[in-house]
Amino acid sequence: MTSAAEVTWENTIKDYFTAKDVACMTPRGVLLDSYDYVSNQQHAQAIYIKVKSGAMPIGEPAWTADKVQTFFDWVKAGAPKGNASATS
C-alpha cells in the first residue's frame, strides 16, 4: 500500500545529507548523494549507526530522533526511490 505521504529518497531522504556531508564522505567511499549507495542495506545500516549514535555528522548538529527514525523507517520500507519530479 502506498500512502500519499510516503517518504522517498527524492522527497525526503536525499535532503538529509548536506553538501558538507557529501564533501567529507565521498573521498572515504561513503556516497551520501547516491541513491544506489545509500539504499544498499549494508550501507544504510552503517549510516544509521553513525547518525543514531551522533558520531556523524562531524561538525554539524546531530540528527533529531525524528530524522533518525524516518531514515530507519525508510530503509525498513525497502528504501523507495520516488519520483524526482513529484511534488509530494
Interaction site with ligand HEM (CB under 6 A): 17, 20-21, 24-25, 28, 30, 32, 46-47, 50-51, 55-60
Q: Work out how close the CB of 45 gets to ligand HEM at its nearest, in angstroms, rounded to a whole number.
A: 9
Tell the smallest beta-carbon distance from residue 63 to ligand HEM (Å): 7
Task: Specify whether the CB–CB gap between 79 and 18 falls below 8 A.
Answer: no
Nearest CB to ligand HEM, comparing residues 55 and 77: 55
Of the two residues 5 and 15, which places its CB atom closer to ligand HEM in the complex?
15
Radius of gyration of the chain (CA): 13
Query: In angstroms, what CA-CA distances link 48 with 16, 32, 35, 79, 87?
Result: 12, 12, 15, 13, 26
Q: Which three cell numbers stand for residue 85?
A: 519530479
* Closer CB to ligand HEM, 4 or 65, in the complex: 65
Provide the 8-state DSSP code for 15: G
Give residue number: closest CB to ligand HEM: 24
